[in-house]
Structure 1
């Protein structure tokens, strides 16, 4: 009835009973999967890939010292210091890195695997998606940002201050020697020319701009994945439950959502900042904790319309349990709207972080695009690359998320496509 591949078929009924049975005679307890906490393939992927990450995070938190590198200590404890040193395994991930890896596992388990499992529908979605050329280019760009954010820190060292290399111009550009303390590249006619040693130039403190942009990709992906995952879990759960329960429960839950939506998140973040100190993790936690309200209301409106469909009423009358209806029919049929909504809220979080970093509010130890833009604003007249490189990267990333969200909606929501054709 819903197009779901997991629906009960007539062959299943005949195989069990030996004869055909009417729909209203089916005992749903014999055919429906276990409840909400059944071990589905997606949950198996999460447990197999996510559990080692969780254990390693706990090991880092409670065993590894503040001045020790996580994998150096792990190699020592396992007696594998030699092989680890030979392979160059000396990473020292923080709590956000572990959380980032875990959210990637969740993305693979609950987005990537279902797309792989339903190959026919995935191919259809991809054909529809490819019709939007800007969205395809946006997907490629975001793929580069993702790869740069994940692998970049392992390949490119954190930018360090080097006053002797301050204000080095990008490749194929030059700057008057008056503004530099030393020129790394060629000097001609009183001007310093850029080299591939610093392809995007350097900042006032001599930090390599390219390395700063790459490490800023990591921050961008952490915000995108972690914040969106938290918002999705809270918003989808709250909105779906509120819509399905209805009555006074729905009223109370929606009024609470109104409070969350009207809460001054920025003021609360400043308060937390002065009490507990700045940090990217604190930013993600605060903005995710107060950023799910719009998603919850959006999911609720979609879930309400789905819950009133005739096939849901038929499933309810036939004896299917509430958890089965919500998990297998309500949430899957609102998936297109949920995915699009989540894709479109990411730019808001990225802009909020960039604005706070530009104002100097945040963890200065974490290189972000906003901080780099702020560092270059005083020298934009003679060293514009310090602002332009992270500025254009941020602009293109936000634009890409917007294009991607619109294209996903058109690809997986036939109703939206029909509206456009009319």
Structure 2
């Protein structure tokens, strides 16, 4: 970027006084989509008997509704603006594609989102099959004493894998591919729903503390200090003894208690932006505080919010996997941590593919999202590069 190019996220809006008031089209779209989702939830909760599919064989559980809401917010808050504002989007892409690692991370993260969102609907839930126990992957083989009912070819006492189960099966006969896809679905749920809580809480607290200042700033930052002393991991472990293990409890605890670091980053950026000439000029011109925040401060700290939230995602995914690995989460979820734990308990060196597949998927996802978070920081705010 040349020295004459303005920072992409240092913008000021100087629209005329006769501008149209009211919610934007995007805000209206979010509200209408959320209202439709709420209506569907109310209908399912009040009119559809338990165990009866709502539509097309889909029987939603409680956590599916906030997951769908998070997908809607992501679509309206990220995808739609990128599609409408093509000029800055092309600039972002030009910067991103200059780094091959960032492009690979973007592809990996996009694959994780797509697989986690629609994969289970396409492949179905993994089911046990006693006749298909411990089938090897298509690229490997195992002794026929391990895969007793071999589905592939048998050569010299070795059972070879088949494309029916490209990644093999577990000791219960579940397809490893479906287990990996199901784990991606669980990880995506945790990441999106927790972020749906983290982002607005951190943004509101950081904006308020940074812009208002004074006692309000001191009080809010002291609360953030106290909250960060109390680890969300420990709170979850304690609460699950009282209310039971569930993914819902996990995302609520981490969503409500894990936003302090993001709020501090937003606060620091707001303090800096509040001293910019365009903010001071808007205040001198008589603009109200809410107008200044919405039109001048918030747009210029959005890059900090995006990058900070993105860098929270790997931590959330690893935390859920760790809790599942230690059998501290819902055992019916079949998350990556659960698959790894079960695989390591049963002949980990003979039937290695169940835990290895989940471990590779977990590792690649965490690395991809982490690298993408660093790349977005450099792309959205070149001053940090």
TM-score, L = length of structure 1: 0.86
Q: Report the alpha carbon displacement of residue 31 of structure 1 after superposing the two structures with TM.
A: 4.2
Out of 62, 72, 75, the position equivalent to 2:46 is 62
How far apart, CA to CA, are the structure 1 residues paired with 2:179 and 2:168? 11
Query: What residue number does 1:313 align with?
Result: 280
Query: What residue number does 1:94 align with?
Result: 61
Residue-by-residue CA offset, 1:276-297 (whole Å, 9 max, x unaligned):
2111111111111111111111
Query: What residue number does 2:215 align with?
Result: 248
How far apart, CA to CA, are the structure 2 residues paired with 1:65 and 1:332? 45
Query: Contact conserved, 1:280 with 1:362, CA < 8 A, in 2?
Result: yes
Q: Report the alpha carbon displacement of residue 400 of structure 1 after superposing the two structures with TM.
A: 0.6
Matched, 1:403 2:371: yes
Q: Report the alpha carbon displacement of residue 264 of structure 1 after superposing the two structures with TM.
A: 2.8
Q: Report the alpha carbon displacement of residue 4 of structure 1 after superposing the two structures with TM.
A: 4.2
How far apart, CA to CA, are the structure 2 residues paired with 1:214 and 1:191? 28
Q: Gapped runs of 5+ residues in structure 2?
A: 1-5
Query: Contact conserved, 1:163 with 1:181, CA < 8 A, in 2?
Result: no
Matched, 1:49 2:33: yes
Residue-by-residue CA offset, 1:141-189 (whole Å, 9 max, x unaligned):
2222222122212211211122332211000211112223422222221
Specify the structure having the higher radius of gyration (Cα).
1
Residue-by-residue CA offset, 1:13-51 (whole Å, 9 max, x unaligned):
xxxxxxxxxxxxxxxxx44664xxx41122111123222
Residue-by-residue CA offset, 1:309-351 (whole Å, 9 max, x unaligned):
1221111111111111111111111111111111111000000
Q: Gapped runs of 5+ residues in structure 1?
A: 13-29, 72-88, 418-422
1:413–1:124 CA distance, 2 compared to 1 (3 A):
same
1:371–1:97 CA distance, 2 compared to 1 (3 A):
same
Matched, 1:192 2:176: no
Matched, 1:161 2:168: no
Query: Contact conserved, 2:206 with 2:263, CA < 8 A, in 1?
Result: yes
How far apart, CA to CA, are the structure 1 residues paired with 2:108 and 2:360? 12
How far apart, CA to CA, are the structure 1 residues paired with 2:10 and 2:206? 23
2:327 match: secondary structure: coil
How far apart, CA to CA, are the structure 1 residues paired with 2:180 and 2:248? 19
Q: Report the alpha carbon displacement of residue 6 of structure 1 after superposing the two structures with TM.
A: 4.5
Out of 203, 211, 215, the position equivalent to 2:182 is 215
How far apart, CA to CA, are the structure 1 residues paired with 2:13 and 2:76? 18
How many residues align? The count is 377
Q: Report the alpha carbon displacement of residue 122 of structure 1 after superposing the two structures with TM.
A: 1.2
How far apart, CA to CA, are the structure 2 residues paired with 1:365 and 1:70? 21
Alignment of 1:263-412 (within 5 A): 263-378=230-345, 379-412=347-380
Query: Contact conserved, 1:32 with 1:324, CA < 8 A, in 2?
Result: no
How far apart, CA to CA, are the structure 1 residues paired with 2:128 and 2:207? 50
How far apart, CA to CA, are the structure 2 residues paired with 1:390 and 1:323? 47
Query: What residue number does 1:120 align with?
Result: 87
Out of 102, 113, 119, the position equivalent to 1:135 is 102
Query: Contact conserved, 2:140 with 2:161, CA < 8 A, in 1?
Result: yes
RMSD: 1.7
Which structure's relative contact order is higher, taking Cα pairs within 8 Å and 6+ residues apart?
2
How far apart, CA to CA, are the structure 2 residues paired with 1:339 and 1:208? 36
2:174 match: secondary structure: coil
